[in-house]
């Protein structure tokens, strides 16, 4: 009898196989803050040198970063975002939006975004690409797409880094709380399941293919941290239904960006597993990110940012000529 496990086909999962890891997200966060060199990554992420080397190598192999020589003697390299890596920019914006709203750590660094098109400071907002109106998770309907089904669970094993991230002093990190969630692919998959109406332990076990101890651990973590609430629907033994809180529901725009990135770079041959529509306009949709002030769609080359470092209070002003604008 085969012991192979299966998971519901999901473009989010394919994206998480690349970025669903705390050190990887810390590196990408730093890249979007114009960090390019190894020692700079080491200082900002505060992760171990060997781990940093490993994750930079994997991001290069995945095509998200390009390794460029900038010094011959001794040989030193820069790590620059590629077009594929820059495709995660909306994910970073939606994570920043969530962190600004729900993050608890007031001592971390702060970033002010300015939209060069309208000249105003702004917050990124998720919107329907058809009617261009903002939406929430409750405004979206979904149906099974041609690529829906169960597929073998072939995942890259990696040592869990969530606890090490929690032990950091957080003086150099921007996306603190949300990185610990999106950087834990199992926790993110549970949230994905809840968004599609799967809300009991047994249903999640079948949907995600994860081990029983991992599922129990992540459900407890998500409940304790306020992303899920649970309600007893059976006693002897006790069984629970899990429901997303407002805090958990607001992760939806992040998952939308991961879904679209996964479909762009790791598409299923049969087609997308899910097809989404916006209730307000009734049309099939994808997500776009708009400026909260002028309501225009945001692109990386139109965003200037100012970083205020928590450790010193110094401001590091950006310019329009950034690695984001010059990415290949």
Question: Which one, of 280, 293, 269, 292, lies nearest residue 126 by Cα?
Answer: 292
Q: How far apart are CA 26 and CA 173, in angstroms?
A: 8
Mean pLDDT, rounded, for 191-212 = 92
Residue 247 has pLDDT above 60, yes or no: yes
User: Left, alpha or beta for 27 (phi > 0: left; psi -120 to 50: alpha)?
Assistant: alpha
Beta-carbon count within 10 A of 100 CB? 15
Confidence of residue 163 (pLDDT cuts 50, 70, 90): very low
Give the pLDDT of residue 1.
45
**DSSP states of 25-53 as a string?**
HHHHHHHHTT--BHHHHHHHH---HHHHH
Q: How far is the C-alpha of 59 from the C-alpha of 65, rounded, in Å?
A: 6
Residue 123: closest CA among 243, 298, 266: 298
Read off the pTM: 0.90
pLDDT of residue 322: 45
d(CA 280, CA 263): 24
pLDDT tens per residue across span 21-68: 999 999 999 999 999 999 999 998 989 999 999 999 999 999 999 999
For residue 121, the SS3 value is: strand
CA nearest 44: which of 53, 55, 33, 59? 33
Q: Give pLDDT tens digits for 204-231.
A: 998 888 899 999 999 999 999 999 999 9
Q: How would residue 326 be classed by pLDDT, with cut points 50, 70 and 90? A: very low
Pairing mode of beta strands 124-128, 287-291: antiparallel
Spell out the residues 6+ positions from residue 101 whose beta carbon is closer than 8 angstroms to its own. Answer: 250
Are residues 318 and 305 in contact, defined by beta-carbon separation less than 8 angstroms? yes
Q: Is the pLDDT of residue 152 over 70?
A: yes
Range scoring the smallest mean pLDDT among 15-19, 135-139, 317-321: 317-321
Q: Is the model more confident about 268 or about 96?
A: 96
The CA radius of gyration of the chain, in Å to the nearest whole number, is 20
pLDDT band of 194, cuts 50, 70, 90: very high
Distance, first Cα to last Cα, the chain: 48
DSSP characters over 143-190 = EE-TT-SEEE---------HHHHHTS--SS-SSHHHHHHHTBHHHHHH
pLDDT tens for residues 87-134?
999 999 999 999 999 987 656 778 899 999 999 999 999 999 999 999
* Range with the poorest average pLDDT among 17-21, 200-204, 262-266, 267-271: 267-271
Average pLDDT of every residue of the chain: 87
């Amino acid at each position: 009898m085969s012991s192979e496990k299966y998971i519901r086909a999901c473009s989010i999962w394919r994206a998480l196989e690349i970025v669903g890891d705390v050190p990887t997200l810390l590196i990408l966060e730093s890249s979007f803050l114009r960090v390019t060199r190894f020692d700079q990554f080491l200082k900002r992420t505060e992760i171990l040198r060997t781990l940093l080397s490993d994750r930079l190598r994997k991001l290069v192999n995945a095509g998200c970063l390009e390794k460029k020589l900038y010094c011959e003697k001794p040989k030193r390299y820069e790590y620059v975002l590629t077009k594929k890596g820059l495709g995660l920019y909306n994910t970073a914006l939606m994570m920043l939006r969530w962190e600004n709203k729900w993050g608890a750590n007031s001592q971390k660094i702060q970033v002010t975004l300015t939209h060069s098109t309208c000249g105003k400071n702004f917050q990124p907002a998720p919107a329907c690409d058809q009617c261009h109106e903002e939406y929430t998770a409750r405004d979206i309907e979904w149906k099974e797409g041609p690529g829906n089904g169960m597929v073998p669970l072939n995942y890259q094993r990696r040592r869990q880094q969530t606890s090490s991230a929690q032990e950091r002093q957080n003086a150099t990190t921007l996306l603190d709380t949300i990185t610990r969630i999106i950087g834990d692919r199992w926790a993110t998959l549970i949230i994905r399941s809840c968004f599609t109406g799967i809300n009991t332990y047994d249903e999640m076990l079948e949907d995600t293919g994860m081990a029983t101890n991992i599922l129990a651990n992540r459900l407890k973590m998500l409940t304790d941290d306020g992303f899920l609430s649970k309600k007893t629907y059976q006693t002897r033994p006790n069984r629970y239904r899990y429901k997303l809180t407002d805090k958990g529901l607001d992760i939806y725009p992040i998952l939308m960006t991961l879904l679209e990135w996964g479909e762009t770079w790791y598409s299923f041959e049969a087609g997308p597993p899910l097809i989404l529509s916006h209730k307000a306009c009734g049309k099939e949709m994808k997500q776009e990110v708009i400026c909260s002030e002028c309501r225009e769609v945001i692109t990386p080359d139109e965003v200037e940012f100012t970083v205020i470092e928590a450790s010193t209070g110094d401001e590091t002003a950006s310019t329009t000529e950034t690695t984001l604008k010059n990415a290949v």
